[in-house]
Amino acid sequence: MLIRRAPIFRSSEITDERLYLNRRAFIAGAAALGGALALGAPHDAGAEAPLAELKAARNPKFAQPDPPTRYEAATTYNNFYEFGVNKEDPARMAGSLKPRPWAVQVEGHVGKPRTFDIDELIKLAPLEERVYALRCVEAWSMVIPWIGFPLAALLKRVEPTGQAKFVEFTTLLDPEQFPAQKKGLFSFSSLEWPYVEGLRLDEAMHPLTLLTVGMYGKVLPNQNGAPVRVVVPWKYGFKSAKSIVRIRLVSEQPKTAWEKAAPQEYGFYSNVNPAVSHPRWSQATERRITEGRISEFRRRDTLPFNGYADQVASLYSGMDLKKYY
């Protein structure tokens, strides 16, 4: 199989170095989260405000050989198309998102459907910090210390029935908070809003799948998916739905946002697979972002399942992973 090398990043994909040195776009006001959080400064949309701290013990089972990506890089080089198509758009536009009050509705094929307030959600299970590598389909990756708890802890609370085969995640639909959902200058017409993603139930219940409420010892910044997102570390980053308002257990495979927009490029499974090229570039190698500047991107071989093959490869035993990409 011919593997094409990934092209050099386009200028629109590389955030200017001055962005990392001069701007601190860390906007996401947070109220107190019981005894777990220290209260941050009041949120003023469009103004800079420190994020509330979020205490969690690091889980030593989820260590990475590479050091974490610098916080400034991880919070200013993002894909979050509800804010725009450029990597700097989420940090620049995220002040419009109001992460509190917030609720997540869990429904579908469950015995006990519920709506969880964000504070209640955080108290469901002990928070832990896990250092996961996040691999994006554009052939770049970061190492991020995420804070959360296994998604399985939430799903067990609502008691999935025998009809539940898949889990569907839906992001907030609100053009006032997500400017790119509006028709106009910042719209991304290829995607259908609200953003929908999905997992097979066994993938969602896997202990690696994290319901995430923080990173780097702080609550999630708006541009990284506040106030709650899922992180699925063996899949490409777009599978990790952000700013979730609904989790629905269903019997049929959900039709996800990127499948609808470009099914030839983004399959339902989207497991990190260096042997399967994106139609427009190779996935055989990636650039690991350390400090965030182009001179500090380190090229490396892409690992099957993003390096988590020992834990998750058995989920796909007997499957053709080039067909079910």
**pLDDT, tens digit (0-9, with 9 covering 90-100), for 192-225:** 999 999 999 999 999 999 999 999 999 999 999 9
Task: State how far the Cα of 136 lies from the Cα of 141, in Å rounded to an integer.
Answer: 6
- Name the average pLDDT for the chain: 85
**DSSP SS3 for 108:** strand
Assess whether pLDDT exceeds 50 at residue 6: no
Q: Cβ distance 229 to 212 under 8 Å?
A: yes
pTM of structure: 0.84
Q: Cβ distance 119 to 99 under 8 Å?
A: no
Query: In this predicted structure, what is the pLDDT of residue 296?
Result: 57
Assess whether pLDDT exceeds 50 at residue 29: no
Query: In this predicted structure, what is the pLDDT of residue 238?
Result: 96
For the structural domain made of 11-316, what CATH number should be given? 3.90.420.10
Q: Indicate the domain borders of the chain.
A: 11-316
Would you place residue 187 in the very low, low, confident or very high pLDDT band (cuts 50, 70, 90)? low
Given CA atoms 87, 89, 95, 97 in this order, what sign does their dihedral have? negative
Task: State how far the Cα of 199 lies from the Cα of 256, in Å rounded to an integer.
Answer: 10
Average pLDDT score over residue span 43-54: 62
Per the model's pLDDT, the better-predicted residue between 86 and 14 turns out to be: 86
**SS3 track for 268-310:** CCCECCCCCCECCECCCEEEEECCCCHHHEEEEECCHHHHCHH
pLDDT digits (tens, 9 = 90+) for 137-182: 999 999 999 999 999 999 999 999 999 999 999 999 999 999 999 8
Assess whether pLDDT exceeds 70 at residue 39: no
Query: In this predicted structure, what is the pLDDT of residue 198?
Result: 98
If one counts every other C-beta atom within 10 angstroms of the C-beta of residue 2, the result is 5
